[in-house]
Amino acid sequence: TKLYNEILDNIAADSNFKANMQKSMLFLVNNNYISMLPYLDETKKDTPLSLIFEAIVAKNNNLNNQVDVKIA
């Protein structure tokens, strides 16, 4: 949609944007699972939300082993 594309364009234009989880959530809404993969490589604090979101990203990209190791 136009709003979705506008948000992504603004995020891409902002070199100081650090909220990659929020950016990846936008990809999730649009079923763009491959674009969510960089989130798995990020260094981040393990919070309940970040762990669950990592599981969602990995499962939607058929990386089930990675999810099992991270959650265990």
Instruction: Say whether 22 sits in a helix, a strand or coil.
Output: helix
Query: Residue 1, SS3?
Result: coil
Q: Say what the pTM is.
A: 0.72
- pLDDT tens-digit series, residues 27-37: 898 899 999 99
pLDDT band for position 1 (50/70/90)?
Answer: confident
- Domains of the chain: total: 1
**Distance in angstroms (rounded) separating the CA atoms of residues 20 and 17:** 8
Amino acid at 12: A
Instruction: Express each pLDDT in 19-28 by its tens digit.
Output: 788 888 888 9
Structural domain containing residue 52:
2-71
What spatial distance separates the first Cα and last Cα of the chain, rounded to whole Å? 38
Give the C-alpha separation, 51 to 55, whole Å: 6
